[in-house]
Amino acid sequence: MLAHEFEVGVTPYGQLKIIIINKFIFSFEMRAIFLSNPILLLLRLPSSILLHPPRLLLSHQSVNHLRHRYRYRYCLHCYCCSSTTIVPAMDANIKPSSESPPDHSVGDWFSVPELRLRDHWFTVPLDYYSDAKITVFAREVVAVGKEEQENLPYLLFLQGGPGFESPRPTEASGWIKKACEEYRVILLDQRGTGMSTPVTVSSLAQITSADKQVDYLKHFRADNIVQDAEFIRLRLLPNAGQWTVLGQSYGGFCAVTYLSFAPQGLKQVLLTGGIPPVKKGCTADAVYNECFEQIFHQNEKYYKRYPKDIEVVCEVVSYLAESEGGGVVLPSGGLLTARGLQIIGLSGLGSSTGFERLHYMFERVWDPILVPGAKKSISYFFLKEIENWMAFDTNPLYALMHESIYCQGSASRWSAHRIRKEEKHSRFDAIKALKEGGPILFTGEMVFPWMFDEIHALKPFKDAAHLLAKKKDWPSLYDIAVLNNNKVPVVAAVYYEDMFVNFKLAMGTAKEIAGIRLWVTNEFMHSGLRDGGGDVFDHLLGLLDGRKPLF
């Protein structure tokens, strides 16, 4: 085998060497630091190094090919934004500077009852191999009196979504109170949410081209969220140590991506309603085929609890269908149609108090008739509540990126919309159900193309949404071979009647994660971590520390 070695200059972490084998295989070795991990592909290698010395003849085309092919297996951060400084993002051996780096700033401690909190801001690369930057925000939370406790282990919380920020604690309660008994909790606003350079209706509107919006939004998936987490870990944890990750729902998807591509940063992982399908292609089709069945059963349970609502919902659908334009104008300027009414199942059918909230909302659907002969109309209260439930105006990233979380090397092609149109799911056709006497079935965690016509906040992004649905070159989010050889302790709460993360698909993925311990329960719904106080979190800790039996 013909091999050539080239010395490429000194970095703060050792001599960098590039090995070219048969002109096809490129490996990078950084002496001393990387003796235990010699094969690294430098995705952020500056052109000044790539072209020096002159005998190292790597074309830009070759470099871009390498970056594209390997960017998610091996990736590097630019630590000081210098064109000659290189720091591997996902190598636990690298230690941060003893001085506070310029890309990390820290706020002062403040208090809520029984907790102390402080804010952290990190300046991170948008895509980890270009110079564009965004800000990522994280909030540190400890029990009162533990601010300076040096041996307190770190726990990173990854919120559900995609496109939703971490909780804002107002007191010590629930799982956060329980976690703060043992951990220093880091509540991460995933990129694009909360205070992490948020993608909002107004901020995204600054990018006027749909193509450029897509070029920006493509960096807001689990792969780059994990890169951000590693960036933060290397700067925040003493001696760049490992931390525990708690992933709720989509946060669990991100945690499995973390297990795939940066397990060296993880001490242990807890998943709550968050085991993703990991096969290549677009797994959204499989997700919706399975989820429509669970959503149907949730509708059945709802109408069994509130049978009179069958007539009420049919009456509302009839009113909307007969209205001019096929719907009623919402307070924001959008249009509430029959199919738009159905999507409130997203909030109403999948959480512990959703049935009650949905029923109480329909109690006030009609305006009272104050003047004899006045026209019947849907109440402002009801229309406003509909918009409050959907939250697309405050968190548009969810609608824009939802189906992409299921894509690896394939386009979603509006998966939920296609699957819903299949004959076997025709019972979700509201007008057809109305003609047959009901009931009208609500839908669940699904995004449809017509939402970008009917929801006012989403209208400006219709073209970008269609481009995202057609996008095929989504990179890998999971490495099944790595998961099969996983060494990180992993525990998961799997909710038997979960409307959002299908039980059957979750169990299939669990078989691919070596060593995972499962707690399968129907005691909680998808919102179990929030609803169960500290019980769900404590149960999972018991699986990790031996308090719960192995069998």
* Distance from C-alpha of 521 to C-alpha of 233, rounded to nearest angstrom: 32
Give the residue from 124, 86, 129 showing the smallest Cα distance to 105: 124
* Residue among 402, 526, 527, 539 flagged as catalytic: 526
Catalytic: 203? no
* Distance from C-alpha of 436 to C-alpha of 247, rounded to nearest angstrom: 43
Catalytic: 127? no
Q: Could you give the 3-state DSSP secondary structure of residue 390?
A: helix
* Distance from C-alpha of 295 to C-alpha of 325, rounded to nearest angstrom: 29
Distance set, CA 285 to CA 94, 376, 418, 489 (Å)? 41, 41, 9, 30
Give the residue from 151, 128, 238, 232 showing the smallest Cα distance to 186: 232
Task: Please tell me the number of Cα atoms within 13 Å of 135 on its side-chain side.
Answer: 14
Length of the chain: 551
Angle at alpha carbon of residue 296, lines to 506 and 300, rounded to 5°: 125
**Sign of the dihedral through C-alpha 392, 276, 483, 188:** positive
* Distance from C-alpha of 333 to C-alpha of 342, rounded to nearest angstrom: 19
CA 172 to chain centre: 25
Where on the phi/psi map is residue 431: left (φ > 0), alpha (ψ -120 to 50), or beta? Answer: alpha
List all residues 6 or more positions away from 112 whose beta carbon is below 8 Å from its beta carbon.
Answer: 169, 170, 171, 172
* Residue among 166, 196, 249, 415 flagged as catalytic: 249
Catalytic: 219? no
Active-site positions? 249, 473, 526
